[in-house]
Structure 1
């Protein structure tokens, strides 16, 4: 028995969604997202401060954006994500509305209801479309999994007691024990 064909969303339909709609598109299929938790947002804020401070201090050419900010990984089939944090070093990928193509660095902070999205679905798409480095920060497990898709390094697990190197930079390290000390889990 054939299953019914699901509706495929177009870029025009996606762009016409209400502005406060939290959604991503994987191969034309829309996936709605819940609002993030307080812990999620606290970790996001701490990471934004660390990374943006580094970029500003180094007078780097990369730009950093927090969610919600669209990343169009593919036109056909339409694939649009909204990573929690993304860093883009190729300004030609930015068109004023979104990043068109893979960012250099993405961080996803796991929400309890969608952990498989970050660990499986997004890992697949980020690697497939050329993201250089991808971090999964899991507040419940208090760990970080770093995927660096260049060279021999595949994945490295860390705990919230670790200092973690951002591999796309020579000298950026994020101290998760410091971040954890400021968050009410």
Structure 2
């Protein structure tokens, strides 16, 4: 994950930059971040998980979306604008949809690590999602074949709900009954 430009940028400037750029750009605390193009393996993992989530959610209230979908995080208790592009988002509150993006807090977010974005997803986004109230955050590490699932506890802090490496199934706390086999995910 690299900075798109070094100077502090207003949200209006960010939207102007987005209009003229083909890059995947996120906006956090006045900084514009550019996401690297995903690897083939990243895309395979994302596609497999998206299909499983889509099948699981068929006929249910929630929907699953894959990148690029802009998520403008909005929580009445937090000031400022943060716009992220998670690899996968599960959205249950339909009132947040606009023509350009989703405004609100997803119920579940998945980020798939790349060598260049690990600290951004493991530190910056983990804290951002926790503070905004994303109920569940999955971090998939294709380099280690690991999936870690964090869920919000009663103190609104993330705690590890599940973690598997190489084999076994990882489950969701928020989407009761959903699980995915790591051998399928990483094959």
Poorly superposed stretches of 4+, deviation over 4 Å: none
* 1:170 correspondence with 2:176: yes
Shift of 1:124: 0.4
Which stretch shifts more, 104-113 or 147-156? 147-156
Q: Does 2:70 match 1:70?
A: yes
Q: Which runs of 5+ in 2 are unaligned?
A: 1-5
Q: Does 1:122 align with 2:125?
A: yes
Instruction: Give the alignment of 1:17-36 within 5 angstroms.
Output: 17=18, 18=20, 20-36=22-38
C-alpha deviation, 1:13, in angstroms: 2.5
Distance of 2:177 and 2:119 partners within structure 1: 31
The aligned counterpart of 2:142 is 139
Q: For 1:47-86, list aligned pairs within 5 A.
A: 47-56=49-58, 59-74=59-74, 76-86=79-89
Are the counterparts in 2 of residues 84 and 107 from structure 1 also a CA contact under 8 Å?
yes
Which secondary structure does the structure 2 equivalent of 1:87 belong to?
strand
**What residue is the counterpart of 1:42 in the other structure?**
44
Query: Is residue 111 of structure 2 the alignment partner of residue 105 of structure 1?
Result: no
Distance 1:62 1:96 in 2: 18
RMSD: 1.9
Q: Normalising by the residue count of structure 2, what TM-score does the alignment of the two structures yield?
A: 0.86
Question: In the TM superposition, what is the alpha-carbon distance from 1:103 to its structure 2 partner?
Answer: 0.2
Shift of 1:93: 1.3
